[in-house]
C-alpha cells in the first residue's frame, strides 16, 4: 500500500500513542480499583446512564394469515380493536376491556429499555417504537405487527438506572488513562526547554 506522507505519519504516530498509553496504563498511570470506582461515580450520570425504561400493557387481536392462528380476518380483527378503542376513549378501563377483546382475555406486560433493545428490534420493533412515544397513562393508537393488531397502555416510564461498574470497568480504565496521559503531556510541554538548531532550521525548505 502507498500513503501520502501526512497520512502515514498520522497512522504511525497514532499507533505509537496507543502503545504508549497501554504501557503507561500498566505502569506509571496504572489505576487502582478504588480510583476507578471513584471516577465511575463521578461520571456515571453523564457516561453510563441506561436511558429510559417504559413499561406497557399490550392488548392483541390476531388475524388469519402467515403463521398466525387467529380466527378473524384482517378487517374483522382491526374492527374489533377499533370498537374497543372507542369504548376506551369513552372512559372504560383498559384492563377490563382486555378481558373482552384480547385474543386470550389477558394483558401482556412488556418493558422496553436499553437492555431489551436488541430483542425488541428483532421481534417487536413497531411495538417498541410506539411504546417509546407514550407518557405514563397514555394509550397508543391501533397498530399492526406480525399477524396481529395491538393497542398499548403505558403504565410506567422513568430512568432505567446506570450500567454497573463491572460492565464498564474497562471503559472507565481507558478514559482514566487517557485523562492522565493528557495531564502528563501538558506537564511535560509546560516544563520543556526548547532549543532551536539554527543550522538545520535555516536549511528547511517547505514544498
Q: What are phi and psi of 71, to 5 degrees?
A: -95, -5
Residue 134: what pLDDT? 94
Q: Of 87-96, 121-130, 158-167, give the lowest mean pLDDT range.
A: 158-167
pTM of the model as a whole: 0.59
Which H/E stretch holds residue 23? helix 5-25
- pLDDT band at residue 205, thresholds of 50, 70 and 90? confident
Higher-confidence position of 162 and 20: 20
The CA-CA-CA angle for residues 166, 169, 170, to 5°, reads 135
Structural domains of the chain sorted by starting position, each given as residue range(s) with its CATH number in brackets: 5-48+163-185 (no CATH), 52-159 (3.10.50.40)
* Cα distances (angstroms) measured from residue 130 to each of 55, 126, 139: 12, 6, 10
In terms of DSSP H, where are the helices of 26-159? Answer: 33-47, 74-89, 94-101, 117-123, 125-131
CB 140 within 8 A of CB 57: no
Cell (9 digits) for 174: 481507558
pLDDT tens, residue by residue, 82-103: 999 899 888 899 989 988 899 8
The neighbouring-strand residues paired with 59 are 151
Cell (9 digits) for 184: 502528563
102, 103, 106, 111 alpha-carbon torsion, rounded to 10° = -80
187, 190, 193, 199 alpha-carbon torsion, rounded to 10° = 110
Amino acid at each position: 500500500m502507498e500513503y501520502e506522507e501526512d497520512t502515514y505519519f498520522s497512522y504511525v504516530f497514532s499507533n505509537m500513542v496507543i502503545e504508549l498509553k497501554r504501557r503507561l496504563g500498566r505502569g506509571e498511570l496504572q489505576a487502582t480499583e478504588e480510583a476507578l470506582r471513584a471516577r465511575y461515580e463521578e461520571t456515571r450520570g453523564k457516561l453510563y446512564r441506561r436511558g429510559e425504561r417504559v413499561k406497557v400493557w399490550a392488548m392483541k387481536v390476531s388475524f388469519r394469515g402467515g403463521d398466525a392462528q387467529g380466527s378473524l380476518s384482517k378487517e374483522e380483527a382491526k374492527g374489533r380493536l377499533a370498537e374497543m378503542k372507542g369504548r376506551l376513549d369513552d372512559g372504560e378501563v383498559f384492563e377490563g376491556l382486555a378481558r373482552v377483546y384480547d385474543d386470550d382475555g389477558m394483558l401482556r406486560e412488556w418493558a422496553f429499555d436499553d437492555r431489551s433493545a436488541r430483542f425488541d428490534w428483532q421481534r417487536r420493533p413497531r411495538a417498541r417504537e410506539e411504546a417509546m412515544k407514550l407518557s405514563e397513562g397514555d394509550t397508543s393508537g391501533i397498530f399492526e405487527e406480525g399477524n396481529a393488531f395491538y393497542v398499548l397502555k403505558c403504565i410506567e416510564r422513568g430512568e432505567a438506572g446506570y450500567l454497573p461498574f463491572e460492565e464498564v470497568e474497562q471503559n472507565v480504565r481507558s478514559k482514566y488513562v487517557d485523562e492522565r496521559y493528557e495531564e502528563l503531556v501538558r506537564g511535560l510541554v509546560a516544563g520543556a526547554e526548547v532549543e532551536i538548531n539554527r543550522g538545520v532550521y535555516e536549511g528547511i525548505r517547505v514544498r
